[in-house]
Chain A
């Protein structure tokens, strides 16, 4: 079929706290993706980079930075920044170029080197910046994750043990993933013994920040067929919608929600997959595997419900019953998720798609979801940035 864009290569640099320049992680990931695709770097016509804000000017122009590092060869470049959704926007840019007939094959790439501890705002006294305001009041990223987690406890009766079970499950998945940073089995006691960061979330409920890099080679279906990859996983949808006013769930870094006096209240998280399902022409019942943004253990439960994989309030039960494990009814985060990776912001959404690519090709080894045909990702970042990508095969 023409008019389709497929993923013919995926590559990653292992996640960790390596302390090296982010460019080197991206180069490793790109080379692996090119080898996986069987495409020569000089044949890449478009480089779509996801930016990092923490590595200076080369990070702001990541597309060009990676193109230079791989050896200038005259490709067109673009750089996208959308917080946690940067990788999906970069993927969307590449897809648009290919659908417009302006390129046949493109590299989508993101990498990051992260500092230790809490993410903090830019310096200076800046009360006009909501990010500065919330940190002045002592409201960190885990504050928001914890407000959502506590809300689940109050609304649905979820417990801290329910959240810990997500950690145990993801840790078990990540054991078999050579690209995961944390490959260690956890017990309920391990989680309960970790320090409380933002009640009810403990250190082992909250994802770390990591170094890492991920890359995809995307191509028109015609190009893929020409190089013998006609059965490559297809991009069925990319959703990067904004929230709809009145956005009624308190969102990082805001200090207040929209007012729903003159407009109906809307949930941003739920809107992201809704558009993806509509674009792909499928529904939650068609999904075989999902990679969701478990910034916290409890947030994975919210995502399962936002993706429509169960009714509101039922995700903890689903996890208790083992349905979200590999081998269960609807495996969630077979890669090990952010629990095992930690977040490398511009690489993370791309890494989610790398995992789905391997799953849909049946090449995920010990963490393979049997017969995976449809995979969906979901993530959300700072105010109004989120994404959901669907691959089918």
Chain B
């Protein structure tokens, strides 16, 4: 299995994967992807950030799917299989992060407010025949 991420430095892998973001050393605002220049909070002038692992669980804010194959740089398996997409609210960071939903889970399995966790799965890649790793969101338990 591949260990190469689709976006280098954007997330950790392994049993308990995390997205890698930044936290402003002055005002505490979080950023994903990482930010290392000037804090975007207009009342903050900090240029100091710590690299942090974002919460790997959150609440489902909204969701949809891709019914048609998206254009490049998306790389589809043959044949294309529709996949779900989630917007997940992270409580500590007070922000929403998008991602694909884990394979095999469709919109019928989802509901706003559902507890979601970050997982890592292999996705097709144009240059790497064995694919690359991407973060995905997965419901922590199936719906009753």
Flag if B62 contacts A259 (CB, 8 Å): no
Q: Mark B105-122, 1 if CB is under 8 A from A, else 0.
A: 001000111000000000
Complex CA gap A384/B33 in Å reads 18
Question: A55 contacts the other chain (Cβ, under 8 Å)?
Answer: no
- Per-residue CB proximity of B61-81 to A under 8 Å, as 1/0? 111111110111110000000
Tell whether A121 is near chain B: CB-to-CB under 8 Å.
yes
In Å, the complex CA distance between A127 and B134 comes to 13
Contact call B29/A137, Cβ cutoff below 8 A: no
B57 interfacial contact with A, CB 8 Å: no
Q: Does B42 contact A (CB under 8 A)?
A: yes
Q: How many A-B residue pairs have CB under 8 A?
A: 139
Selected from A118, A132, A255, A261, the residue in CB contact (under 8 A) with B29 is A261
| B71 close to A120 (CB less than 8 A) | yes
Are A137 and B74 closer than 8 Å at their CB atoms? Answer: yes
Q: How many residues of B contact A (CB 8 A)?
A: 45
In the assembled complex, the CB of B29 is this many whole angstroms from the nearest CB of chain A, namely: 5
Q: Is A364 an interface residue (CB 8 A)?
A: no
Residues of B within 8 A of A154 (CB): 62, 111-113
B49 interfacial contact with A, CB 8 Å = no
Residue among A117, A197, A258 with the highest chain B CB neighbour number at 10 A: A258
CB within 8 Å for A151 and B62 given contacts A137-B74, A259-B93:
yes
Residues 25-74 of B at the A interface (beta carbon under 8 Å): 27-33, 40-44, 61-68, 70-74
Which A residues between 104 and 118 are near B, CB-CB below 8 angstroms?
117-118
- Given the known inter-chain contacts A147-B87, A256-B32, please indicate yes or no for A132 contacting B98, CB distance below 8 A: no
A198-B43 contact, Cβ under 8 Å, with A137-B74, A139-B98: no
A-B contact pairs, 20 of them (CB 8 A): A117-B71, A118-B71, A135-B70, A136-B7, A137-B6, A139-B70, A140-B70, A143-B66, A143-B98, A147-B85, A149-B64, A151-B112, A195-B68, A246-B29, A255-B98, A256-B31, A256-B96, A256-B97, A259-B94, A261-B27
Residues of B within 8 A of A (CB): 6-8, 24, 27-33, 40-44, 61-68, 70-74, 83, 85, 87, 93-100, 107, 111-113, 134
